[in-house]
Structure 1
Amino acid sequence: MSAWRLLLTRPAEEAKSLAATLAEHGVFTSSLPLLAIQALPETPGQRARMLDLERYAAVIVVSKAAARLGLERLARYWPQPPQQPWFSVGAATGRLLADHGLNACWPASGEDSEALLQLPQLRSAVQVAEPRVLIIKGEGGRELLAERLRAQGVTVDYLCLYRRTLPDYPAGSLCERIRAERLNGLLVSSGQGLEHLRQLAAGDWPQLAGLPLFVPSQRVAAQARAAGAQHVVDCRGASAAALLDALQAEPVPAH
């Protein structure tokens, strides 16, 4: 039995799956979703991008929510999709694409933008005349991908399909949950999840900032430290396996 007692903040469906995996390894968890996925209405510009899909040398999908919503759009407009490669930041997102029959690639290790940019298949895909890449995502986030690709002469378009909202919780509920269940670690899965954590904590944030905070990447780790978090653990990925490795390597704080 692990001594870790973690607060999970992912969307409810993802938190449930992660909690089940962690429970198998003796890790106690409590779920307080800080990200609710709200699909955005389709705009004429978004429809045009989907209809022009074959113009892109590659398509990048940054999250499972983006994959699910993007595949719905793909099925609507492309019963037989174009044959360009599709890429994802993480394996779970990539498997959703592959299960749909797409030519999907993702980094074998390191579930972040940096690892994806080093992927040989992506580098090869953009070695064409006037390369264009479509990034399917939610509002905000993942600017590094576009910046690096544009620096290589790639034209990058976005297809933003959803926004992440903070569910409505009573004031003080975050600290109350942590105290009541004797939680000794926090988990966020993105920069926006971190911002929602701070927003919900409000005046209690300085108190919570001393708890170990597990994050998926160097980028989010830097954001967390800049926000005042004192004990940040970069899991180098958002998968359950990456988190379990980090939990094993990190000493449990003393009460």
Structure 2
Amino acid sequence: MQDCSILITRPEPENRLSCERVRTLGGTPVPLPMLEIAPLEEAKQQAAIRSQVFDINEFHYVIFVSKNAVRLGSDWLDACWPMLPIGVHWIGIGQGTTQALLDEGIPALSNPGHTSEDLLDWLKPVKMKNLKVLIMRGVGGRTELGDKLEERGAKISYLSLYERKKPEYNAQTFLMLPDINLIWVTSGESLHNLSEYVAQYKQDWKTLPIITPSSRVNQQAKDMGWINASCAHGADDNSLIKATGFHTGQSND
């Protein structure tokens, strides 16, 4: 895969980090984020977030759905809790999110999966009845995880920290891009936004290999007409790199 030109659609700041990683492996990264992450900044929104974070010690589990949730959530924790509260179990969905928690000094529980569905399987032995669970996420995120935990008796709360927005591109943006050999997408929403732009400006991209983070998103890609979609079984760089075929000399996380 040396000199492979890869369109990387992660939001910033993760896009830049993924591009650096691909470049070190001899690939040619082409950054084109398909999501923008906008922290909630209105005074009323921030007051609501602060109130929930001050009460975070009341929860048995705090689940972060993404690296962006970790990045913003850890800032709020630093502001509200000079020392992390005792007795909270911190969990990240996916290897990358879990590692991001550890990098922030938050002792996240290690779980082997990459998706909400994997996390639910991992938590099956845990008696969730009457346990309080806080899910840190973006506005309007998927509710499947919370719904399933509620079915098992858990008491679910959500803390929205950011909005996801579709970046604005035009025909000139796509005209100026180099030839692309491969595409990385890391969420269903990124795939949806990319597919809309491709329908407008780059219909031939539908024949390119596209690597998706999960079976769910991979099926979405096929339903949208991507004829060469494959699944990395993870949205972290290591999973995507392994699925791409780079030889790093290291085992995948």
Q: Following the alignment from structure 1 to structure 2, what is the Cα–Cα distance between the partners of residues 102 and 138?
A: 20
Give the corresponding residue for 1:104: 108
* Superposition pairs of residues 164-175 of structure 1, within 5 angstroms: 164-171=164-171, 173-174=173-174
- Offset of 1:205 from its aligned partner? 5.8
Give the corresponding residue for 2:71: 68
Whether contact under 8 Å (2:62, 2:135) holds in the other structure is yes
Identity, % of aligned pairs?
33
- Are 1:87 and 2:84 matched, yes or no? no
- Offset of 1:43 from its aligned partner? 4.9
- Are 1:190 and 2:187 matched, yes or no? yes
Q: Provide the TM-score with structure 2 as the length reference.
A: 0.85
Residue identity opposite 1:209 in structure 2: K
Instruction: Provide, for residues 85-106 of structure 1, a one-character-per-residue CA deviation record: whole Å limited to 9, x for no partner.
Output: 1000123322332244333124
Question: Secondary structure of 2:226's match?
Answer: coil
Whether contact under 8 Å (2:9, 2:185) holds in the other structure is yes
Question: Secondary structure of 2:76's match?
Answer: helix
Residue identity opposite 1:157 in structure 2: S
- Are 1:146 and 2:143 matched, yes or no? no
How large is the RMSD of aligned CA atoms in angstroms?
2.3
Task: Rate the CA distance shift 1:187–1:128 in 2: closer, same or farther, 3 A.
Answer: closer
- Offset of 1:239 from its aligned partner? 1.8
- Offset of 1:45 from its aligned partner? 3.9
Task: Rate the CA distance shift 1:127–1:19 in 2: closer, same or farther, 3 A.
Answer: same
Residue identity opposite 1:198 in structure 2: S
Question: Secondary structure of 1:12's match?
Answer: coil
Q: Following the alignment from structure 2 to structure 1, what is the Cα–Cα distance between the partners of residues 143 and 218?
A: 16
Instruction: Provide, for residues 19-77 of structure 1, a one-character-per-residue CA deviation record: whole Å limited to 9, x for no partner.
Output: 22222222222111222211013255433322321221100001111111111111222
User: Which of 18-27 and 53-62 deviates more?
Assistant: 18-27
Give the corresponding residue for 1:252: none
Q: Following the alignment from structure 2 to structure 1, what is the Cα–Cα distance between the partners of residues 143 and 28?
A: 34
Task: Rate the CA distance shift 1:162–1:243 in 2: closer, same or farther, 3 A.
Answer: same
User: Which of 12-21 and 213-222 deviates more?
Assistant: 12-21
* Superposition pairs of residues 1-255 of structure 1, within 5 angstroms: 2=2, 4-41=4-41, 42-83=45-86, 84-108=88-112, 110-119=113-122, 122-123=123-124, 127=127, 130-171=130-171, 173-174=173-174, 176-177=175-176, 181-204=178-201, 206-248=203-245
- Offset of 1:136 from its aligned partner? 0.3
Question: Secondary structure of 1:18's match?
Answer: helix
- Offset of 1:232 from its aligned partner? 0.9
Task: Rate the CA distance shift 1:151–1:92 in 2: closer, same or farther, 3 A.
Answer: same
Q: Following the alignment from structure 1 to structure 2, what is the Cα–Cα distance between the partners of residues 103 and 13?
A: 23
Query: Structure 2: which 5+ runs fail to align?
Result: 247-253
Task: Rate the CA distance shift 1:219–1:128 in 2: closer, same or farther, 3 A.
Answer: closer
Q: Following the alignment from structure 1 to structure 2, what is the Cα–Cα distance between the partners of residues 56 and 123?
A: 19
Task: Rate the CA distance shift 1:128–1:117 in 2: closer, same or farther, 3 A.
Answer: closer
Q: Following the alignment from structure 2 to structure 1, what is the Cα–Cα distance between the partners of residues 5 and 128?
A: 50
Whether contact under 8 Å (1:12, 1:31) holds in the other structure is no
Q: Following the alignment from structure 2 to structure 1, what is the Cα–Cα distance between the partners of residues 173 and 66?
A: 28
User: Which of 127-136 and 40-49 deviates more?
Assistant: 40-49
Whether contact under 8 Å (2:73, 2:161) holds in the other structure is yes
